Structure 1
Amino acid sequence: MRIGSWSFSNPVFVAPMAGVTDRPYRKLCKTLGAGYAVSEMAASNPRLWESVKTSRRLDHEGEIDPIAVQIAGSDPGMMAEAAVFNIGKGARIIDINMGCPVKKVCNVASGSALLRDEKRVSDILRSVVAACHPLGVPVTLKTRTGWDRNTRNALRIGLLAQDIGVDALILHGRTRCDMYQGEAEYDTIRDVKQALDIPVVANGDIDSPEKARYVLDYTGADAIMVGRAAQGRPWIFREISHYLQTGTHLPPPTYGELRDCLLDHLEDHYRFYGEYTGVRSARKHIGWYLADLPDAQDFLPHIKQLDSTHEQTRAIEQWFDRHPRSAAMVAQPVTSAMAAGHRHIQLHAS
Structure 2
Amino acid sequence: MQIGTVSLPGRLVLAPMAGVTDLAFRQICREHGAALTYTEMVSTRALTYQDKKTPRLLELAPNEHPAAAQVFGHDPESMAEGAKIAAAVSGCELIDINMGCPAPKIVNNGDGSALMRDPDLAARIIEAVKAAVDVPVTVKFRKGWDEKSINCVAFARMAEAAGADAVTVHGRTRAQQYSGKADWDAIREVREAVSIPVIANGDVFEPEDVPRILEHTGADLVMIGRGSLGDPWLFERANVLLETGIVPPLPPFAERMDTAVRQIELAAAQKGEHIAMLEARRHVNCYLKRTSGLKSFKQRICALERLEELYVLIDELKRAVED
Give yes or no for TM over 0.5: yes
Task: Give 1:66's aligned residue.
Answer: 66
- 1 CA distance for matches of 2:207 and 2:279? 29
Q: Deviations over 1:216-240 (max 9, x none)?
A: 0111000111000111111100111
Q: Deviations over 1:157-188 (max 9, x none)?
A: 11111112110000000111111111001111
| TM-score between both structures, scaled by the size of structure 2 | 0.96
Q: Unpaired runs of 5+ in structure 2?
A: none
| 2:274 corresponds to 1:273 | no
| 2:28 corresponds to 1:28 | yes
Task: Give 2:130's aligned residue.
Answer: 129
Q: Give the letter for the 2:122 counterpart.
A: V
Contact kept, 8 Å, 1:43 with 1:49, in 2: the verdict is no
Contact kept, 8 Å, 1:80 with 1:128, in 2: the verdict is yes
SS in 2 for 1:209: coil
SS in 2 for 1:145: strand
| 2:41 corresponds to 1:41 | yes
Q: Give the letter for the 1:313 counterpart.
A: Y
- 1 CA distance for matches of 2:268 and 2:311? 10
Task: Give 1:147's aligned residue.
Answer: 145
Task: Give 2:99's aligned residue.
Answer: 98
Q: Give the letter for the 1:92 counterpart.
A: E
- 2 CA distance for matches of 1:35 and 1:317? 32
Contact kept, 8 Å, 1:291 with 1:297, in 2: the verdict is no
Q: How far apart are residue 61 of structure 1 and its match?
A: 4.3
- 2 CA distance for matches of 1:199 and 1:58? 24
Task: Give 1:259's aligned residue.
Answer: 257
SS in 1 for 2:223: strand
Q: Give the letter for the 1:123 counterpart.
A: R
Q: How far apart are residue 17 of structure 1 and its match?
A: 0.4
- 2 CA distance for matches of 1:218 and 1:307? 45
SS in 2 for 1:173: strand
| 2:206 corresponds to 1:208 | yes
| TM-score between both structures, scaled by the size of structure 1 | 0.88
Task: Give 1:305's aligned residue.
Answer: 303
SS in 2 for 1:221: coil
- Equivalent residues in 2 for 1:74-85 (5 A)? 74-85=74-85
Task: Give 1:19's aligned residue.
Answer: 19
- 1 CA distance for matches of 2:63 and 2:251? 25
- 2 CA distance for matches of 1:114 and 1:170? 15
Q: Unpaired runs of 5+ in structure 1?
A: 328-350
Contact kept, 8 Å, 2:168 with 2:201, in 1: the verdict is yes
Task: Give 2:182's aligned residue.
Answer: 184
- 2 CA distance for matches of 1:170 and 1:49? 29
SS in 1 for 2:97: strand
SS in 1 for 2:320: coil
Task: Give 2:192's aligned residue.
Answer: 194
Q: Give the letter for the 2:22 counterpart.
A: D
Contact kept, 8 Å, 1:145 with 1:154, in 2: the verdict is yes
Task: Give 2:320's aligned residue.
Answer: 322
Task: Give 1:331's aligned residue.
Answer: none
Contact kept, 8 Å, 1:209 with 1:244, in 2: the verdict is no
> Which stretch has the larger CA shift, 8-17 or 139-148?
8-17
Q: How far apart are residue 67 of structure 1 and its match?
A: 2.3
Aligned length: 321
Task: Give 1:117's aligned residue.
Answer: 118
Instruction: Detail structure 1 runs of 4+ shifted over 4 Å in the superposition.
Output: none
Contact kept, 8 Å, 2:260 with 2:287, in 1: the verdict is yes
Of the two structures, which has the highest relative contact order with CA contacts closer than 8 Å and spacing of 6 or more?
A: 1
- 2 CA distance for matches of 1:35 and 1:77? 31
SS in 1 for 2:96: strand
- 1 CA distance for matches of 2:92 and 2:7? 16
- 2 CA distance for matches of 1:262 and 1:240? 20
Q: How far apart are residue 48 of structure 1 and its match?
A: 5.8
> Which stretch has the larger CA shift, 199-208 or 299-308?
299-308
